[in-house]
Chains A and B, each alone.
Chain A
Amino acid sequence: MANPVNERARLLSNDPVGPRLYLMRLETPIIAKTTRPGQFVHLQIPAADAHILRRPFCVYARDAEAGTIDVLYQVVGEGTRLLAKATPAVVDATGGMSVLGPLGNSWAAVDEAQSGSGLHVLLVGGGVGAAPLYLLAEDLIDAGCAVDVVLGAQTEDALVTRERFAALLGREPACATDDGSYGRPGFCTTLSQEALDAGCSVDGAPFDRVCVCGPDPLMKIVAAQAHEAHVPCEVSTERRMACGIGACLSCVVETTDGLKRSCADGPIFDAEKVVW
């Protein structure tokens, strides 16, 4: 894993893309080159001095050549509300945005895919949790894996990663919406169970691995489905963080090996080890 750096990033865009959802593009040449799937950046909210803590976001997409990363985020509190108001002009005027990264570990599936070949991987993303799976899908496909994607969101207009996944896969990801406005009505856990039962859509082979990111209840259900199907499963955890680099012990995750740090030991964990 590359050493983390603190880059003064230019904000290139920061636009609403769905209900409470924003897509931000940052110019971070080093982080864009070194980020591995599943890793995150720790951002200082611009022009908001009273909000002293950074906010962690997984990297959605990276363009090493252009030196940019994309972050998809949801407004959930005061910090993200202020972040959504940030404009390129304001960030330029304050000398750039402090971005720490890349932080955290990566999916073991990537190493496994790169050392072997022909893995069948099922990716399950709930809500804004779909974003960190995009980079993973890219690397898995590059490594010759067959990748199926299941996405869940509350409504059709919250399925903001669907088109990117469709372009990458060359086919539509399986989608579910809580209100039935797009794809299967209800939770995407029905679709993940069906996928595990049916095998990979490319060749019908059983999946070798499941990777899931989303709310804890979703990850818990998919982890149980994968366990039942005897498929190794990894989950991407999200906790309140302060330092983001493993020092403060704020973001602990309870595991069968004791308390682990989401920021430094994770955010990716073997689902079998997480105590839900």
Chain B
Amino acid sequence: MAENTDSRAHIRETSVSLAVNLGGLPMKNPVTDASGTFAAGREFSAFVDVAELGAVTTKGVSLNGWQGNAAPRIAETPSGMLNSIGLQNPGVAHLMADELPWLKSQGATAIVNVSGHSFDEYVQVIEALEDADAVGAYEVNISCPNVDEGGMTIGTDPASVQKVVGACRRATKRPLIVKLTPNVTDVAEIARAAVSAGADALSLINTVLGMAVDAERRRPQLARVVGGLSGPCVKPIALRQVWEVHNAVDVPLLGMGGISSGIDAIEFMLCGATAVAVGTANFVCPTATVDVANGIIDYCERQGVSDVAELIGGLQC
């Protein structure tokens, strides 16, 4: 056992066709990371080759950068965690000068997650990124529950969703993925609003609003009191919402929420996801993205599935 050490993990060779197309973004396999759990991949490059992933989804970027929230920013909860990082980021110029060239040098496909505190900021971030050639698609975060303005309000109101997605749509011809919040009464209604405004694909779910309390000290565990719940504990919520949205709209879906194995990923694809994102599992194991991809291959080979795309929406109810 002592010699049994992991260096970089790799996605293994297979005869299974793994390629999918996410709203105009060709992916060599269905696996990316969930924004915010992977930075822009460089921190994980001692463990995985980011070029092997279907795409690398970068951490949310705003126009001039945000400071983020006060600490403690995380708390562990049963089979999950809460975070209120607050979208700390150094701004779009830094992403273009540093992370995107690195991703390009690695041969990775980049999905850039775009955040804003106003409709204009989303558009300005996209306009800046239009000059970068290393962007495969945008993922518009209309749903981050961590910031005071923007996120939460936009993503929970169909009219606001239509407005921001429409503005982003007019700013780019690149594939536009809109990331939905689960903290709504009817996710299908929000999904329809995003698609009607020009979204090429939808990603879901973002984190679920939650809270953790330290009873002994009678204080919240997070400095910001509430935060976003993620990890295996949210998977049933995520599967249900992916299934509902799959039945409501015709665009491809990027499913996420508690995926830590190939079987988890297959469950999302059966519920209608074209591709999947691995999030909190990256903190559990830095090879989680590759592990999930290999688990998808295992399943396909075992079940005699020659093309992974056959599984999309294949749930038999």
Contacts and interface: CB of A to CB of B under 8 A. Distances in A.
A98 B177 CA distance: 35
A242 B43 contact: no
Given A10-B2, A29-B2, A245-B44, A250 B7 contact: no
A6 B88 contact: no
Interface stretch (B132-140, B283-291, B294-302): B283-291
A98 B37 contact: no
A250 B285 contact: no
Contact of B284 (A7, A53, A92): A53
B83 A250 contact: yes
Interface in B56-94: 59, 67-68, 71-76, 78-81, 83, 85, 88
Interface residues on B, range: 35 or more
Given A247-B39, A247-B43, A6 B286 contact: yes
A4 interface: yes
Interface string A22-61: 0000010110000000000000100001111110000000
A100 B286 contact: yes
Contacts of B280: 52, 242
B283 A8 contact: no
Contacts of B59: 247
B284 to A, nearest CB: 5
B158 interface: no
Interface string B1-12: 111111100000
A23 B299 CA distance: 42
- The residue in A4, A51, A52 that gathers the most chain B C-beta atoms within 10 A of its C-beta is A52
A204 interface: no
B284 A250 contact: no
B79 A252 contact: no
B237 interface: no
Contact of A6 (B39, B81, B287): B287
Contacts of B5: 5-8, 29-30
Interface of B: 1-7, 36-39, 43-44, 46-47, 59, 67-68, 71-76, 78-81, 83, 85, 88, 231-232, 280, 282-287
Contact of A243 (B3, B6, B78, B286): B286
A54 B285 CA distance: 9
A54 B284 contact: yes
B88 A259 contact: yes
A248 B36 contact: yes
Nearest to B5: A7
A263 to B, nearest CB: 9
Contacts of A264: 43
Contacts of B4: 8, 96
Contacts of B232: 52
Contacts of A7: 5-6
20 contacts: A5-B6, A5-B7, A6-B285, A6-B287, A7-B6, A29-B5, A30-B5, A44-B284, A50-B79, A52-B76, A52-B81, A52-B280, A53-B284, A95-B1, A98-B285, A243-B43, A244-B283, A248-B283, A250-B85, A252-B68
